[in-house]
Amino acid sequence: DPKIIQKPKYLVAVTGSEKILICEQYLGHNAMYWYRQSAKKPLEFMFSYSYQKLMDNQTASSRFQPQSSKKNHLDLQITALKPDDSATYFCASSQTGGAYAEQFFGPGTRLTVL
């Protein structure tokens, strides 16, 4: 059974629209993350949460907003979508936050903005 669920697997959006990427983890972890992977750049850290509190935000734009409604959920809302937002977005989790903890990644949501 998949331990980290990301929905949807594929997403196509038009420029200027808004989308929410869903992430749920069933590993009992206390820290969750979002990363982005595009053809032009390596995997990029976006956010980290620990016990539902924002620990780090490395996105330059407020168009990206994480939402943590439950301990094992960390959704990502993206507003005013741009073609440059096209990428695969990965959710990850770890038992605790910090440098030592292994991060487990979900299967990703591939977003295409037209």
Residues in 77-96 that interact with other proteins by CB under 8 A:
90, 92, 94
Site string for other proteins, 25-64 (x = CB under 8 A): ------x-x-x------xxxx--x-x----xx-x------
**CA–CA distance, 6 with 25 (Å, rounded to integer):** 9
Q: What is the DSSP letter of 84?
A: G
Q: Which residues bind other proteins (CB under 8 A)?
A: 4, 31, 33, 35, 42-45, 48, 50, 55-56, 58, 90, 92, 94, 97-108
